[in-house]
Chain A
Amino acid sequence: MKRNFVFGIIIAVFALQQVFSQELLIGIKPHQLITAGNSFDFGTGGTSLELAYRQNLQTNLKWYAGIETGTSLWGTEFLANAGLVYCKSISGIWSWEVTAGLQQGIELFRPASLYTGGIISTIGIQAKISEKSSLAFNTGLRYVFCPAYAQYSYISTSLQIPFSLSYRLIL
């Protein structure tokens, strides 16, 4: 009975994989500042590495979830990301997409790390480089905050322009 159940799960997962196209994404994301605190500031907001998993919900709609870690305005951070992607094919090679997502995580401090979060929306273009892989460039707007850091600094929020160059592997 137990063996049949496990076998059934494996078949179901395999079937889902065939129905819903999936991809793994690895990317590098430098962030250009627009504001830091209440002032315009055109410095750098850090660079992070992103790893994400994407899966189709409908023909042109995907969800994604992933992790991101790198330098930030406040030090170093570790984020969990989730959101939606609307994508549209232009030709056999090119496609464009719009993403919207939430970021939740921590700024790495001691004696205790601080909560950080953000919202991000990007527009991007993707080029297929083989049957199973593609390269993409995205940019957009990102608003990040670390509320508890306001105790120590004038800068606890920031509006940024994220740039992302990513490699995507179709599973």
Chain B
Amino acid sequence: MNIKHLLIFSMVLLLGACSYLPELTLNETNIQNKLSETSDRIVLESASGNATSALIFYPGGLVDPHVYLEWQDKLVTENQDLMIITVKMPANLAVLGINNGLKVMEDYPEINNWYVGGHSLGGTMGAELIAGSPDKFKALIFIASYPANDKLKNWDGAALSIHASNDGLSTPADIEAHKADLPAAFVMNDMTNFNLPLQSKTHYYEIQGGNHGQFGNYGVQDKDSVAFISRADQQTQLVTVINNFISAL
């Protein structure tokens, strides 16, 4: 952490920034796959440990990185080739660790295909990670998120943007407003409706009735709107669309 980070952190702290804790404990999450954790990452992989692809996941801003474990575990169960590496961020702010994903990659030389995903601020910073090393990654998955600039507009990888109709933070209007910053848009009308090949395109899927906070397990987030589907329903759609997307790559 350099002085700039420390100043940003101090400002955030002065504003009373507390991170959202998971609503579920590790026992309640009932992980089915192999879970390991170090100071800088949480790794989920199948018990066989034969993953050939990996998703580097950046958590949302001021959200504890364990809040995504429930749906991540389901995704690994459905796709045993996939390892998910959730990167822990200083102060739980991905803006302070944009390139931390690159350090993680060095430890897994057996992985052939690297993807980046992130929720909210995490997705925005994941896009920055790819913008800095576009050839290292094959896909980018935004969850309730959009890029901060148009650096990836001509990127030849595959992008997926999943958002929710009742998201009060990354609203559907926000997602729409940033479509021009990403490769060519294709709006999906169901969870299997991909326009192949996926490269150089951005696929958009909207979860009807979902909201921002239900992409993780941390309760109601400030300024979010009310969901009219359950968290389980929202996360089931999330896992299905991501799995279909990765399978189609």
How many residues of B are counted as interface, with CB atoms below 8 angstroms from the partner's CB atoms?
A: 27
Chain B CB within 8 A of A36 CB = yes
How many residues of A are counted as interface, with CB atoms below 8 angstroms from the partner's CB atoms?
A: 32
Q: Are A33 and B39 in contact (CB under 8 A)?
A: yes
Please choose the segment from B9-17, B147-155, B206-214 that sits at the chain A interface, where 4 or more of its residues have CB less than 8 A away. B9-17
* Residue in B closest to A30 when the chains form the complex, CB atoms: B1
* Residue in B closest to A113 when the chains form the complex, CB atoms: B18
Partner of A110, one of B19, B37, B39, B40: B19
Q: Are A152 and B39 in contact (CB under 8 A)?
A: no
Which residues from B are CB-within-8-Å of A152? Answer: 21-22, 25-26, 64, 66
Could you pull out 9 A-B pairs where Cβ atoms are within 8 angstroms?
Answer: A36-B39, A43-B40, A49-B6, A70-B9, A75-B91, A109-B20, A110-B21, A153-B26, A153-B66
Which residues from B are CB-within-8-Å of A125? Answer: none
Chain A CB within 8 A of B92 CB = yes
A47, A110, A113, A158 pick with most chain B CB within 10 angstroms = A110
Q: Are B26 and A76 in contact (CB under 8 A)?
A: no
Which residues from A are CB-within-8-Å of B66? Answer: 152-153
Whole-angstrom distance from the CB of B100 to the nearest CB of chain A?
11
Chain B CB within 8 A of A46 CB = yes
- A33-49 CB mask vs B (1 if < 8 Å, else 0) is 10011010101111101
- Which 6 pairs show the lowest CB-CB distances between chains A and B? A43-B39, A151-B25, A36-B39, A108-B18, A110-B18, A154-B37
Q: Are A76 and B20 in contact (CB under 8 A)?
A: no
B17, B91, B92 pick with most chain A CB within 10 angstroms = B91
Which residues from B are CB-within-8-Å of A70? Answer: 6, 9
Partner of B19, one of A47, A76, A151: A76
Chain B CB within 8 A of A116 CB = no
Q: Are B19 and A36 in contact (CB under 8 A)?
A: no
Q: Are A76 and B91 in contact (CB under 8 A)?
A: yes
Question: Please, how many angstroms separate the alpha-carbon atoms of A75 and B66 in the complex?
Answer: 12
Question: Please, how many angstroms separate the alpha-carbon atoms of A47 and B90 in the complex?
Answer: 9
Chain A CB within 8 A of B49 CB = no
The answer to whether A75 and B6 touch (CB under 8 A), given A109-B20, A155-B37, is: no
Question: Please, how many angstroms separate the alpha-carbon atoms of A33 and B39 in the complex?
Answer: 9
Chain B CB within 8 A of A92 CB = no
